[in-house]
Amino acid sequence: MDYIKIRLSNDFDRIGSKFEKTLSEMFHPAGPMFALSKSAWKPQIDMFETPEEIILIAEIAGVEKEDLDLEINTRAIRISGRRNLKPPAQNGRYRVAEIQYGAFERLLYLPSPIDTENVTAAYQKGLLMIRSTKIKYETRHNIPISGE
């Protein structure tokens, strides 16, 4: 199960982020541009939940709407796509290259089942917003008991 991290600026985050950075450097020593994995980067995502719906916001600046793919089922949402490399000037060279390009994918398991017929997605200013309505369940069922 994937967990979404919400980073707050408390002291205990420093230890966790240093540990994550060390692990990342161990497994991708050349940096994300040279990683051989299919998914070179993962967009940052926020997930909000109300009693009626689940809202996801993915930060995917620089990705064309045509390069996005969204798949859903009642328990999970998969966002995938590609951010294409924009070539620098012909006579120029990189001094800093931190923006990650290539394929990406995020699979998020939802805290409640959703109605797949009632999902909307909008992409504006580099943010993909997905709104999904929760399936309403009866909280109490009376079950007849058969027998003697």
pTM for the full model? 0.65
Instruction: List, edge to edge, every strand of the sheet that includes 127-134.
Output: 44-49, 53-59, 127-134, 114-124
Q: What confidence tens digit (pLDDT) does each residue in 25-82 have?
A: 555 444 444 444 444 789 999 999 999 999 999 999 999 999 999 999 999 999 999 9
CATH number of 36-86+100-134: 2.60.40.790
53: Cα separation from own chain's centroid: 17
Instruction: List, edge to edge, every strand of the sheet that includes 68-72.
Output: 68-72, 76-83, 102-109
HSE-up of residue 32 (Cα within 13 Å, Cβ side): 14
- Pick from 97, 52, 101: nearest CA to 81: 101
DSSP H helical segments within the chain, as ranges? Answer: 11-27
Q: What confidence tens digit (pLDDT) does each residue in 74-130 have?
A: 999 999 999 998 877 788 888 888 889 999 999 999 999 999 999 999 999 999 999
Q: Which pLDDT belongs to residue 32?
A: 42
